[in-house]
């Protein structure tokens, strides 16, 4: 995958407090519910995973990192747009 260095996808685990409604969501994810992954600085992501600090994603969302992305996980559309625009 091409893209800027230093950015990794991270799980946004606070969906319940900041639910984003999307009229385009028709397909249900697994029973665990939708999990969006945001692009965050990989160093901050590690720090967050270890210390529970908040990281700011490309789209501006702030959340503590708790999970690493799984293959096929949905990516935050806003993050993806910014990430794609950053491609060298």
The contact set with Zn ion (CB under 5 A) reads 38, 57, 59, 76, 78-79
**Minimal distance, residue 10 CB to Zn ion, in Å:** 9
Q: Which is nearer to Zn ion, 15 or 78 (CB)?
A: 78
- 87 three-class SS: coil
**Minimal distance, residue 46 CB to Zn ion, in Å:** 18
Q: Which is nearer to Zn ion, 75 or 88 (CB)?
A: 75
Euclidean distance between the first and the last CA atom of the chain, given in angstroms as a whole number: 12
Burial class (CB in 10 A: 0-12, 13-18, 19+), 40: buried
Q: Which is nearer to Zn ion, 7 or 76 (CB)?
A: 76
């Amino acid at each position: 995958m091409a893209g800027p260095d230093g950015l990794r996808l991270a799980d946004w685990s606070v969906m319940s407090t900041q639910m984003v409604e999307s009229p385009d969501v028709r397909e249900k994810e697994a029973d665990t519910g939708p999990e969006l992954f945001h692009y965050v600085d990989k160093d901050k992501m590690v720090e967050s995973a270890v210390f529970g600090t908040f990281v700011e994603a490309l789209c501006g969302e702030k959340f503590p990192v708790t999970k690493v992305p799984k293959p096929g996980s949905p990516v935050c559309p806003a993050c993806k747009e910014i990430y794609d625009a950053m491609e060298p």
